[in-house]
Each structure stands twice: as structure tokens, then as C-alpha cells.
Amino acid sequence: MDATKAIIDTVDKIRQRRTAPLILELDLSEGLIDRPPADPLSAVLSMRRARLSDVLSGLKRARTDDRVKGLVVKIGTHHLGLAMVQELRQAVLRFRAAGKRAVVFAESFGEFGAGTVPYYLASAFDRVYLQPSGDVGLTGIALEQRFVRGALEKLGVEYQLGQRHEYKTAANMFTREGMTEPHRESVARIAESVTEQVVAGIAEGRRLDPAKVRELVDAGPFIGAEAVEAGLVDGLAYRDEVYDEIRREAGADALLLYVSRYHKGALARKLPHPGEQTVALVQGSGPIKLGRSGRGPMGGGAMGSDTVCAALRAARRDDHVRAVVFRVDSPGGSYVASDAVWREVVLTRQAGKPVIVSMGDVAASGGYFVAMAADVIMAQPGTLTGSIGVFGGKPVIGELLGKLGVTSETVREGANAAMFSPSHGFSDAQWDRVNAWLDRIYDDFVGKVAEGRGLTRERAHELARGRVWTGADAHASGLVDELGGLEDALALARKKAGLAADAPVRPYPRLNPLERLRPPESSEDRAAALARVRLEAWGPLAALAAELGLPSYGPLTLPGSWTIR
């Protein structure tokens, strides 16, 4: 009898899970990942983190699922990029437009710290709850740039760097003690554009006048009671109180289910059809370098040209693929590697397969280079893009070495054999070669921008000069074709390919477990597109290394460390 009862209870639970009302849940405490794991280590380390694409697809499906009664999201302290936040806001607003309730809870929007971007995300929900001990760090947008020339002089280090042109400001960090006028102009406009977006979003979400939001930004941060009084928060409550309220609204038998689990469950129930026409999704994330993509043992990673080029080739040669969405989230890097990826995008278009670029938080410098040949470039208003320019040179540490008691001697054959040695500066002839190299790269970059975006060379140069733009401003000038997120890019790809609105999306390369284990037979093999673990990556120290100018991924790199909080 006990065994029979256990079987009946199990069957009842399975039936309930298939028929009971659902409350979808999203916990952002650990953030989101914007790309699928490329290697076994990545898969293990990202097991407990939801993927952005899964969340977006899950919320899209939930809009038409009668079982789904609402959504509850917890916003934590993990940093989310502005463009990713805008993708989530867009998904939540569409979820609400379908008649579904969406509630957000946070222990604090910045605990004695900035919380403007997390609160901007929260403003898209029906109701915003804050733990009674929490704060709302609505303080505005600040972009801080550090300059280390004075410290380098004390150490005996000189940087010899050239740039094209005045807005390509990476060299300023090492060669100046403050912002140039073009530098300040560019950064000020980025801060202004982001503020415009944030203020407009909060005003619309909280039904406040934009001028009132501006006043609140200047008056922040707020303790909980002040935030409620100002209309920024609907109530002060602990997590259990928020969840109890949601359950009362959805029904006592409602089940909680993570959005990503909801999405994967739907995929598992949908059997693949042999020969089904698809859209390929190719990911390009991290600094751009020659060789294979990879990650460090503690995190971080890079976009290797060999890996991304192989993925684009695999999608281009697959007869089942009708269009390609190329997701780019990169500050740039190697010019040569960027050019190789650009070529594969061109070849994919020439093969008759539309290429839609979806930009993430950053797609600048080399990140723009790999995108500019696409049929359509789509970005969020808060994406940082452009930076069409180049810089290059070297540090000269001969004086520092002398202070440390280090001496060096060079035996060379060839007048320029030791040209790139940091022990001494460039000669006049060598500096001429550096400038010729910079001119050649810049001319090629601008020419390809003009060709890909349908601009005159003069207009492309005017928009280039190394300047960083927000997606909103880049769209206004023609560097970006449309504003939107990954779901919009996928929908456009399906439309351009003549596919149904629910046509499947497949990450490329698609490899079975055996293909993942065996070495590739050639560079044309799909397995050549696999990433690998790389021990030389900076991993979690990448931000510090960028501040110090330590990693050198190439001449097409967005200068500095760009974080909008």
C-alpha cells in the first residue's frame, strides 16, 4: 500500500507541475552570462548563472502562456552592463504589455554606493519593493578616467604612443595628466546620452515627470522611507513578504520556476525536425586576438579570430542555415584578427545569407570593425560603440631599469631589429614607420566603414577619429541601423530569411559530444571553432590590468575601463 501511495503521489506531483499556475523567477544576484560556455571549464563555472538568451526567450514564450501568472525578479549587487539592462527592461515591458504582472525586489539598490543602473532596471516593473534596511543609490552617471603620466615619470617610464585621431584617447592615460578637450567632449556626451536614457526610462516606468526625475537624481541617494515618499519604491518589505504577496495573487497552488528552467523545459519538449531551416547564432565576446578563443582558469576570455571565423564558415556552409545573427560584445583588439572576422562576414553575405549584428554592452574599435560589414547592425541605446581609430607604440623603461640596477646589451643585425624593444625609444626613422602603420590601419578602417554603412569617406572620417558613441547617438548618425536587442535581431534575421516567426535558433558551431572530444581534422572542420582554456588570460584581474595598461590585445582597443553604474 505504501508503494502504491508513493506512486500515486509522484504522479500527482508530475501532473501538478504540468498544469499548475506558474510564477516565473529570475535571480540576478550572480548576474547573467551573454554567451554559451565554450569549453568544459566555462560550463562548470557558469552552471548557476542564467544565460541572457534563455531569459529573453523564456519571457517571450511566457507572454502567450496562460499558465504563467507573473514574474518576480531579485536584483542583487552583481554588476550588469547598461545594454544588458536595457534588453531585460525591454523584455519585462513586453511581458507586462501581454497582461502579465512583474514584480521586482532588492535588498538594496547600492548599499552606501551607486545604484543608478540597477534602479533603472527596476523601474520597468509593475511594483518595486525594497528591504526596509536598504537604500536607493540613484546618484546619476559618472565616468572616471585615470592618468598615470606623473607616476610613470617618477618611475622612469615614458610611453611613446601615436593615435588616429584626436578622440582616440587611450594614449592620453599614459602621455597626459588630464583630459584633452576632444577627450572631455566625448566622455561628457556619453554621460549626457546615458543620463537622458535613464531619466526617460525611470520617468516612464514610475509615471513621473522627467524634470522631477532629474531633481531626484540630484537629491539621491535615498534611504528606504525617503524612496517610498518620492515615488521611487512602492513598498518596504522583506523577501518572504514579497513572495507571499505574489503567491496570493497567483493562487495557492502556483509554482515558482526559474525563467531559464522554464525555457529549457520548453526546448526539451520540442522535438527537432530533420532538415529544419534555422537561424545561426554566432557569439563574439571579449578582446579580439589572433588564434583561438579562450578563457583564463579564473575567468575572463578573448575572441579569437580562428574560432569566430570557423563558426561563421560552419554556419555559411550549412544548408539548413538561412541567416546568421552575430552577437558582438567586445572592446576591440587586434587589427589583423578583426580584419579576418570582417572578411568572413563579407563572405557570408556574398553566399546569400543575411548577417544581423546584435551589439552587447560594448562593440567598439575592433568590436565595431567586425560588425560593420553586416546587413544590419542593431544596438541598445546604451551600447558603447564606434571608436573608429587606432593607437600604437610602446613603453620605454630604460631609465626604470637603470634605477633598479638592471643593464642590457643588444646584438642585432638590421637597423630596426630592436625597434620594439622597451629598453630605448624609437629613432626618427622608426617613428616614421610607426606613423605609416597607424595611417594605413586608419585609412583601411574608415574606408571599410564607408563601404559597409553606405557613407561617403568624408562622412565616415567625421564620425570616426577614434570617438566613442552611445548606441543612441550612433543610430542617429548611421553607424548603427536599428535600436534593439538580441530578440529583435533574431526576429529580423528570420524575416530577412523568409522563415517563420518561431523558426529555431541554433548556436554555431553545433557539435556533438564526440566532435568536441576529438581534435579537428583541418581548419575547415567545425571542431576548429571550439574555444580552449588559456593560462595567459588575466581573468578577474582584467579590469585592474586595463587600468594599468598591462594587457596589449592590439591597436583597435577601446581606451580605458568603461563601466556605467
Indicate which residues carry an active-site annotation: 168, 365
Q: Using an 8 Å Cβ cutoff, are 359 and 337 in contact? A: no
Backbone angles phi, psi at 385, to 5 degrees: -145, -170
Q: Using an 8 Å Cβ cutoff, are 156 and 402 in contact? A: yes
Q: How far is CA 49 from CA 194, 256, 261, in A?
A: 27, 17, 11
Q: DSSP H helical segments within 220-326, as ranges? A: 224-229, 239-250, 259-269, 305-317
List of E strands, 45-182: 50-51, 68-75, 101-106, 127-130, 135-136, 158-164
Grid cell in block for residue 480: 548603427
Q: Which residues contact 68 (CB under 8 A, 6 or more apart)?
A: 21, 22, 23, 24, 62, 100, 262
Q: Using an 8 Å Cβ cutoff, are 50 and 259 in contact? A: yes
Q: Using an 8 Å Cβ cutoff, are 28 and 104 in contact? A: no
Cα separation, 272 vs 265, in Å, equals 14
Residue 470 pairs in a beta bridge with 384
Q: Using an 8 Å Cβ cutoff, are 216 and 232 in contact? A: yes
Q: What is the DSSP secondary-structure string of 31-43? A: -EESS---SHHHH
Q: How far is CA 183 from CA 154, 465, 467, in A?
A: 25, 11, 9
Q: DSSP H helical segments within 270-410, as ranges? A: 305-317, 335-350, 366-369, 398-403
Grid cell in block for residue 296: 583564463
Grid cell in block for residue 318: 550549412
**Do β-strands 390-396 and 158-164 pair in parallel, antiparallel, or remain unpaired?**
antiparallel
Grid cell in block for residue 331: 572592446
Q: Using an 8 Å Cβ cutoff, are 329 and 547 in contact? A: no
Q: How far is CA 185 from CA 2, 166, 416, 472, in A?
A: 76, 11, 38, 17
CB atoms within 10 A of CB 167: 23
| Three-class secondary structure of residue 241 per DSSP | helix
Q: Using an 8 Å Cβ cutoff, are 61 and 266 in contact? A: yes
Q: Using an 8 Å Cβ cutoff, are 407 and 424 in contact? A: no
Let me know how long the chain is.
565
Measure the N-to-C terminal CA separation of the chain; round to a whole number of Å: 60
Grid cell in block for residue 452: 559597409
For residue 98, give the DSSP letter: T
